[in-house]
Structure 1
Amino acid sequence: MRVINFLIEKPRILFLTLAFILLSGISSGLSVPIQENPELAERWGGVRIFLPGASPERIETEIVNDLEIKLREVEEILELESIITQGFSTIVVELNQSVPPMLIEETWSKVQDKLNQILIPQGAEIFLDRSSGPPITVQYAVTWNGDGEAPLIMMSRLANQLKRKLSSIGSSHQTAVFGETDEEILIELDSSKLSSLGLSFQDISKAIQSLDAKKPIGVSSNNNSELLYRLKDNIQSIQKISEIPIKIINESEIIQLDDVAVISKTPVSPIEDIFLFNGKVVVSVAGTGSFSQRVHDYVERATIVVDEMRETLPSEISIDLIYDESAYTTKKFNELVKSFSLAIFFVLSISLFFLGIRSAIIVTLILPFSICLVMVGCRFIGLPLHMTSITGIIIALGLLIDNGIIVVEDYKNRRASGLNINDSISQGLKNLSAPLAAATATTVFSFLPIVTGEGSSIEFVGGMAMTVIMSITSSLVLALLMVPVLMNYMEKIPYFKDADISNEGYSNEKILNKYRAFLNWAFLVPRRAIMLSLSLPILGFLLFNTLPKDFFPAQDRDMFRVNIELPSNASALTTMNRVIEIREDILKSGLISVEKDYSFIGRMMPRVLMNVVGGEEKQGTNNIAQSVYFATDYYEMIENLPELSRRLVKNNPDIIVLVDSFSSGPPVFSDVSYVIFGDDPGLLKSLGEELELIINNSPDINVTKSATSDSITNVEFELNSSNISLSGQNANYLVNEMFTANNGLIVGTMLDSNKEIPVRLKGLSNKNNLTGNTGFITIPSQDGFEYFDSFGKSTLTNKSSTITRLDGQRTNDVEGWIWTGTLPSATEEAIKKDVADFESRLPIGYSLKQLGEAESRGQSQASLYSSAFMYFILIIVGLVLALNSFRETGLILSVAFLSIGLSFLGLFIGQQNYGFIGTISAIGLIGLSINDSIIVLAHIKEEAKEKLITKAELVEVVIRSTRHIITTSLTTLGGFLPLIFASVFFKPLAWAMSIGVLGATITALMYIPAMFIIMRKVKY
């Protein structure tokens, strides 16, 4: 009260304080980092293993077994999933959700240390690929607009030049080039000509390497200076290479390299990384700005760099903008401005209607000052403005004035009863400070589990809870300090001086009498009021099982993706042609208006959004492609995606086609997933086929896949040791010749401008006869030459191409993807009985584990519940301290329980799914719903403290409380309306809380008084 009196006596101090809050908030709002997505701790990564030509069994035995044992020494690792294919393996490393973000870097350093301790076979490579950092901020396409075939080598060089320029921008996290073509000097040797000269591939290799001298050959120095001697580079051009002597005949005739070889500068073949933009082959450059900066600033700096480079390009080449994250961030902020404006309109209108102009002005003033305090808080704790933190502010807009309305109404009632200004303020603060603090504390405690919980799901929505907590805390401070002082000043304004404060706001005697009669009827038999107030929560609980279950809502992005997978042996060019066909089918269908599109071919999609992982590095997956399409209308896209999905699957029955919108929340790699553990590969395969059939029987399943069903076709050559011995050849020599002839061997480099180009030695091949090439390779012999077929025989094989392991055990991963527009939970429920029967029939030593969305959903909700329990105890402690009664605490806690049912009812009315966001809304609603009940109970207790209260007097207390309870409920509802109509992601929360707040109003005005009558045995 001393502070209030000081501010009343020193009005300049109050206005200076408010000016400081306003200016600090504006300053903070202009400097707080702005980004689209929250920063998630890096709990996923991959260990990439390359061993060219090695079978999956060899990689498993020689590398993966030891590597998994070593990695298991890092206690922070939750799970190791290994996918081993021919020549390549990925070990997906997932860290425990309990690892705090500040220890993530240290943990990955431990993982790297373990990798450094592993002994690997010669020719193998191992590196850690961390799927970290923000998503792509801006992406461009270097496009050929001229006639003829696109000059990919020149475009790739320009793309790398642009990449270097973008890397030099301040706050760049990383830059990347997609679809670039590596170039090489290719020396294609005719093995028959070589053999006729008595030469081998290895002889030519030694001849080239002997002339490729790029190192210094000495130093000459004296007392005054020092000079470095070096050989002049002999490999300066294709002409120089072609003139390399490889053999001298009759001591006078020199055989040059171009006599037996075709030499050219060419793109590396086969092409394994292709990028399409609007159906054209381009080279793409992506720039990713670091977290904790304003994304608009980064895009503006990138635009300047690109514009400068455009001026230097020929007319045939352009740099086109593919993607700009700042456009979506701008959209979010425009929504915030609209929501803020709408909230002010609702608050001012409702407050003006119910409270009068004087009170309306005061409570509306709380909004901008509270938002300013939130901006200061964000700046202080380093919280950026992004999708979830902005939504938290939007949610809080309707809650900010609740405390102010209660203080204003209480002040008006006391002034109407005859108290002077000072007594009205002091008595009001004395009776309201504890209940308001308790109500605010319970709301804070109900949102704290979302802040302090563990795991990526919690981190994703944690910013929302932080801004809500800061908002309602600041509103409490302003309500208790600013509102009473401003009410005092308002009474001194001439316009309000003679106004009757008790008559401000809407009143209708007829409605009031009917409302009083209804309350008298309800409280005459308290069970009536209790049954009426319990009907909505109980209905919500009864309807819960009818709610569809999901994990996270869809992204409110006008983007959808099309993933395709061809047979394992398909080349990148074959995959590209299929992507172009599917693109034409999408455009021809007319189902979705497409603005633009791009496709990654031969690699997984990189981090285009926050929860997309896995495509930062090329993985040798030429048979896959992932495309992103930008729709002109989001709602048209969502409505027609199911039909488009079925159309594309029907028109492409020979490949896997998956069509879906982008999801939100942490990454989930398949909708339905089970893992069978066992040892025998054959039995694992047969069990996987049986389980795959069970999943396929679900009506919502689009496609299923069993890991062990993947196969790859190879040409296997079996050497005949007897023939090798009789010919006098060496097996190692023959293998090296075969490798050089087929795959090629890097024998040197050539500097071309500012780029070093590798020189590859390779055999001439017949591209129309891949399987027969090896047999026709010739080897020099004493009698001239011999074909490679003389040393063995080749056969065509088709074997399982994939080995999967989970935490050191052999597995068979069986996955299913559902049709667009359906939910995994429905599929899980449909096959639940059959899967349980399948599990019961598994052989001894074999087991089954469920993964997919079900596991992710369960982990996230378990983390949230475990964190919420501790704060539930704190809510109880706070209520006991505020109410000084265990019975009344139990009464308020029963309101909290009923609010959960109200949240379920809200989801049902809004036709929303129950998932992680629905769980958050139920927990958050607990704090909101008990606020009104605490205030009504405080008013009843205040009246009952002076004397033995009667039912008639209790009815009058409820009537007095009704005005501000309805006002706060309607303003809170007004804050949620923008989310109902504008936000796809938070729509479940908005519906649950909107209906919940309305239901909580009935609970506060009927359930609480009725229970008080029963507990205190109040008589009429």
Structure 2
Amino acid sequence: MTIIDSSGDDTDPKQLGVFQADKSSGEYKEFPPTSWAIDHGTSIGVLLFFITVLGFFSYRVIPRESFPEVEIPILAINTVYPGVSPADIESLLTRPLEEELSTISDIKDLTSTSVEGYSSIVAEFEASVNLDEALQKIREKVDLAKAELPAEAEDPSIVEFSFSEIPIMQVNLAGQYDLVRLKKIGEAIQERIEQIPSVLRVGIRGGLDREVQVDVQRDRLQFYGLSINDVIEAIRNENVNIPGGSIDVGSFTYLVRVDGSIDDPTTINDLVVEAESGRPVYVRDVARVEFGFQDRTSFARLDGSPVVTLDVIKRSGYSIIETSDMVKAAVLDMETVLPPTTVVKVTSDQSKAVADMVSNLENNIISGLILIIIILLFFLGVGNSLFVAISIPLSMLLTFIVLNALEITLNMVVLFSLILALGMLVDNAIVVVENIYRYVEEGWDKREAAKKATGEVAGPVIAATLTTLAVFAPLMFWPGEVGKFMGFMPITLIIALSSSLFVALVIVPTLCATFLRLDHEPPPRLTPLVRRTLVAILVSIFTAIAMINFVTAVVALTLILLVFAVYRFFVRSISRKFQDAWVPKVIAVYSRQLESALNHRKSVVTGSILGLIFTLFLFNRFNSGVEFFPEDMPPENIMVDIQLPVGSRAEATDVVAKLMETAIDRTRGMVDVSSVVATVGGSGSGGSNPMSGGASGPNSGRVTISMVDFASRHFDARNFLADMQTSLGTDVAGAEITVEQTAQGPAQGLPINIEVTGENPEILKELSDKILSILQNNSVYGKLVGLESDLDQARPELSVYVDREKAALYGISSREVGLEALFKVSKQQNIGPEVMNTILSSDLVRNTEMNLRVSEN
């Protein structure tokens, strides 16, 4: 604040009222930025133009996403070793990896899970750790541990936890033909979608996977006196590609390569298994080689029909809405060349929620403008209400410019914060405009009135804004992943409220100094240049809105014209009567109440303190608890998770999934269901991200129920959820059925976890069973949902112990004994790829597994 001399002003002192002393002394407070802006109105006009243009441009190009781009300092190390028990997985895979990883100093928590054929280790780092450096450290330690891992195990894979890895939508394909053809159609659409620049990759699930099957015939093998291992070694030793160095011939150097790779499945028939007797025995003599399909370990259906599902994952930094629109357009283009019976259905489209929030933000801005104008018409008149209302779009446009400059996307948290800030954007402008108007009413020159009035209230307005910001600022220091996720709320609110403060103290006073007029004054005479400039600005604004959303532009223009017509013919006379008759009465009542409160200060303060104490008592007595996201919201999606005993085949799990689909179809409220997607085995999400959830393993399944939009529903989805929680799973013996809605916001894990640690798995199981029994017999059990232990039981097994000394006398190894045991027990058994995993190189069978099978004949 500065003090300036305005003794040259000859305004009548009687018009100054309470400010007569300041005016007569020739001094008044001034806020320098406001005075500079008023004295340089042309510059502010140019600034206003650039804010409008850049604001709309930023709003147009800023990416839309479901969740903020937050780096989660969690990495998963996954290793596959098919057919191995959990105990062996722990000793052979998990412990060697844990020993190396535990030496990394920045790891906050190291958690491992060992199940049949699979080891998963989750390393959680400190929040301050650089994720790229952490990833490099993990890679180095995993490389060191590889030397101790079994050769038959697959190489460990390192997976990052990231919101950007969650599929933004799923494209489901169904049709009245076999899954082989359906998958070919899916692969064609997959290739088309992956051409979109904003699409990172497209995963494909369902259908049948090709494999080269070497079907060994037991009787033919015995006839030639051969073993399974002979066939395996014959194929493995021939399907090789070995570099042979280089050789100099004349003036040239040639690379030497022994190329024995098999690029045609029929070539396997001509491989020699044994030739010691003088007559070669070929693979075709003991086996059939076919280009067939892998055994199914997963199932997927959409509304009861088998499907192939494409999981679309977008690139980071691109708009989810535009990406979704481009994917749908690409699929629509492909539909013209697809077979006529192909059904294409998009599910789990996350862009819909983002588009709804963006639409809500636009509608709230428009409705906020109209409501503010209507309300202020009755208290400040049409001119003042317009000056106040303009602060909303200007503040928002300025906010979009800053957000775009900081590379912050329009995600759920940012959009929610902007909607929350809408109601606070006009507070500062109301105070400034009302004070300026009052000085103009008292006879001050409009420019001097704008300077003086803004200078008087600038301090309190800034203090009030800082006080509001101080409430949200601590959220910026919220620790952990949730803090990173929610940290965008205070940042957005600080930007929005700071923008509104700038608009209220710089732009609004300048506009008032130029265009403000009293109700009885005639409209100001605008020069042709000013008039053309205003028209150009208005046309630019509506053109920009139309380019972003044509419907919004039409609705906004219609509402503005409607409000103007209503004001011109109805509201103007009513508002003047209200200002002349009711406003003085309201002020009089308020004055009496204020005077009474000042005369009874002790009573007012005591009553306020007692009221606060009573409010705290009521909150403590009747509050319903604390939760991060509300759980009683009508669900958008409902998950029915199926868990069968370990060792159950995928076919058995699929039978239960079909029972669930039938039961769901009979549930009251199905008219509000958009789609029902059932997945058994594999991954329920299809994404590589561990956060995406879903079924995993042949004994697991999930049925996902997607509801229609809220506006189109006939029933309360919460009742639909409650009915399914009551009815599903009661008739399925041995299966655990859990029905729940999808969680709001980011993945948070379970609300309550009881961890039991120890070295002995049997003792761990005994203790976990005791804890479960205690909770089930406690009164709190009725308040719990999904109470279970994550200690997976091992599949039942029969162990064969080899007498190595006797085996050596017969010249056989433990490996050969194992293969022969499998040979005797199984009529037809897939013993690859853990035995052999050969990749063929031709285009026809590229990246196709070769598996050995044993059959009776």
Name the CA distance, whole Å, in 1 between partners of 2:756 and 2:257: 62
- 2:384 counterpart residue number: 359
Q: CA deviation at 1:384?
A: 1.0
- 1:551 counterpart residue number: 628
- CA 1:707–1:292 in 2, change beyond 3 Å: closer, same or farther? closer
Q: CA deviation at 1:40?
A: 2.1
- 2:728 counterpart residue number: 648
Residue among 281, 286, 301 paired with 1:260 = 286
Name the CA distance, whole Å, in 2 between partners of 1:659 and 1:445: 42
Q: In 2, are the aligned partners of 1:310 and 1:318 still within 8 Å (CA)? A: no
Residue among 760, 772, 780 paired with 2:851 = 760
- CA 1:359–1:99 in 2, change beyond 3 Å: closer, same or farther? same
- 2:119 counterpart residue number: 89
- 2:660 counterpart residue number: 582
Report matched runs for 1:137-286 at 5 Å.
137-146=168-177, 150-152=178-180, 154-209=181-236, 211-212=238-239, 239-244=266-271, 246=273, 256-269=282-295, 271-286=296-311
Cα deviation digits, residues 126-168 of structure 1 (max 9, x gap): 221222241212321233323xxx233x433443444344333
Letter in 1 for 2:229: Q
- CA 1:600–1:71 in 2, change beyond 3 Å: closer, same or farther? same
Give the SS at the match of 2:749.
coil
Report matched runs for 1:471-550 at 5 Å.
471-491=496-516, 496=521, 507-534=582-609, 537-545=612-620, 546-548=622-624, 549-550=626-627
Q: CA deviation at 1:422?
A: 5.2
- CA 1:69–1:544 in 2, change beyond 3 Å: closer, same or farther? farther
Q: CA deviation at 1:171?
A: 3.0
Q: CA deviation at 1:443?
A: 1.7
Give the SS at the match of 2:704.
strand
Give the SS at the match of 2:311.
strand
Q: CA deviation at 1:676?
A: 2.1
Name the CA distance, whole Å, in 2 between partners of 1:688 and 1:470: 50
Name the CA distance, whole Å, in 1 between partners of 2:469 and 2:690: 28
Residue among 620, 636, 643 paired with 2:716 = 636
Name the CA distance, whole Å, in 1 between partners of 2:837 and 2:207: 23
Q: In 2, are the aligned partners of 1:606 and 1:612 still within 8 Å (CA)? A: no
Give the SS at the match of 2:755.
strand
Residue among 41, 47, 50 paired with 2:71 = 41
Name the CA distance, whole Å, in 1 between partners of 2:616 and 2:462: 30
Q: Is 1:665 paired with 2:745?
A: yes
Q: CA deviation at 1:230?
A: 8.1
Of residues 757-766 and 543-552 in structure 1, the stretch that sits farther from structure 2 once superposed is: 757-766
- CA 1:506–1:613 in 2, change beyond 3 Å: closer, same or farther? farther
Letter in 1 for 2:640: V
Give the SS at the match of 2:307.
strand
Q: In 1, are the aligned partners of 2:636 and 2:742 still within 8 Å (CA)? A: no
Name the CA distance, whole Å, in 2 between partners of 1:341 and 1:739: 73
Residue among 813, 817, 837 paired with 1:734 = 817
Name the CA distance, whole Å, in 2 between partners of 1:322 and 1:368: 35
Q: Is 1:564 paired with 2:642?
A: yes
Q: In 1, are the aligned partners of 2:160 and 2:689 still within 8 Å (CA)? A: no
Q: CA deviation at 1:81?
A: 1.4
Q: In 2, are the aligned partners of 1:611 and 1:664 still within 8 Å (CA)? A: no
Q: Point out where structure 1 has 5 or more consecutive residues left out of the alignment.
A: 767-1020
Cα deviation digits, residues 418-466 of structure 1 (max 9, x gap): 6554554344333322221111112222222223433222232333322
Give the SS at the match of 1:676.
coil
Q: Is 1:380 paired with 2:405?
A: yes
Residue among 449, 456, 460 paired with 2:474 = 449
Letter in 1 for 2:91: T
Report matched runs for 1:572-971 at 5 Å.
572-592=650-670, 593-606=672-685, 612-614=691-693, 621-634=697-710, 636-696=716-776, 697=778, 698-708=781-791, 710-721=793-804, 724=807, 727-738=810-821, 743-744=831-832, 745-746=835-836, 748-750=838-840, 751=842, 753=844, 755-764=846-855
- CA 1:10–1:501 in 2, change beyond 3 Å: closer, same or farther? farther
Q: CA deviation at 1:212?
A: 4.0
TM-score using structure 1 length: 0.68
Superposition RMSD in Å: 3.6
Q: In 1, are the aligned partners of 2:211 and 2:293 still within 8 Å (CA)? A: yes
Q: CA deviation at 1:625?
A: 1.5
Give the SS at the match of 1:447.
helix
Give the SS at the match of 1:746.
coil
Q: In 1, are the aligned partners of 2:831 and 2:851 still within 8 Å (CA)? A: no
TM-score using structure 2 length: 0.80
- CA 1:39–1:506 in 2, change beyond 3 Å: closer, same or farther? farther
- CA 1:130–1:426 in 2, change beyond 3 Å: closer, same or farther? closer
Report matched runs for 1:354-433 at 5 Å.
354-416=379-441, 421=446, 424-433=449-458
Name the CA distance, whole Å, in 1 between partners of 2:837 and 2:704: 40
Name the CA distance, whole Å, in 2 between partners of 1:355 and 1:469: 28
| Identity over aligned pairs, percent | 21
Q: CA deviation at 1:289?
A: 1.0
Name the CA distance, whole Å, in 2 between partners of 1:248 and 1:70: 48
Q: In 1, are the aligned partners of 2:275 and 2:281 still within 8 Å (CA)? A: yes
Give the SS at the match of 1:186.
strand
- CA 1:656–1:386 in 2, change beyond 3 Å: closer, same or farther? same
Give the SS at the match of 1:569.
coil
Name the CA distance, whole Å, in 1 between partners of 2:667 and 2:810: 64
Q: In 1, are the aligned partners of 2:429 and 2:508 still within 8 Å (CA)? A: yes
Report matched runs for 1:976-991 at 5 Å.
none
Q: In 2, are the aligned partners of 1:133 and 1:290 still within 8 Å (CA)? A: no
Letter in 1 for 2:233: K
Give the SS at the match of 1:440.
helix
Name the CA distance, whole Å, in 2 between partners of 1:474 and 1:743: 67
Letter in 2 for 1:34: R
Name the CA distance, whole Å, in 1 between partners of 2:724 and 2:518: 66
Aligned length: 754
Q: CA deviation at 1:701?
A: 2.6
- CA 1:84–1:258 in 2, change beyond 3 Å: closer, same or farther? same
Q: In 2, are the aligned partners of 1:77 and 1:94 still within 8 Å (CA)? A: yes
Letter in 2 for 1:552: F
Give the SS at the match of 1:667.
coil
Letter in 1 for 2:599: L
Name the CA distance, whole Å, in 2 between partners of 1:662 and 1:332: 18
- CA 1:82–1:367 in 2, change beyond 3 Å: closer, same or farther? same
Name the CA distance, whole Å, in 2 between partners of 1:747 and 1:476: 67
- 1:50 counterpart residue number: 80
Cα deviation digits, residues 753-775 of structure 1 (max 9, x gap): 26243332222269xxxxxxxxx
Q: In 1, are the aligned partners of 2:270 and 2:284 still within 8 Å (CA)? A: yes
- CA 1:136–1:213 in 2, change beyond 3 Å: closer, same or farther? closer
Q: In 1, are the aligned partners of 2:242 and 2:258 still within 8 Å (CA)? A: yes
Give the SS at the match of 1:371.
helix
- 1:350 counterpart residue number: 375
Report matched runs for 1:460-471 at 5 Å.
460-471=485-496
Name the CA distance, whole Å, in 1 between partners of 2:135 and 2:769: 37
Give the SS at the match of 1:714.
coil
Name the CA distance, whole Å, in 2 between partners of 1:63 and 1:679: 16
- CA 1:311–1:724 in 2, change beyond 3 Å: closer, same or farther? same
Q: CA deviation at 1:381?
A: 0.7
Give the SS at the match of 2:698.
coil
Q: In 2, are the aligned partners of 1:133 and 1:173 still within 8 Å (CA)? A: no
- CA 1:519–1:566 in 2, change beyond 3 Å: closer, same or farther? same
Of residues 464-473 and 563-572 in structure 1, the stretch that sits farther from structure 2 once superposed is: 464-473
Letter in 1 for 2:750: S
Q: Point out where structure 2 has 5 or more consecutive residues left out of the alignment.
A: 1-29, 525-574, 824-828
Name the CA distance, whole Å, in 2 between partners of 1:527 and 1:610: 62
Of residues 223-232 and 168-177 in structure 1, the stretch that sits farther from structure 2 once superposed is: 223-232
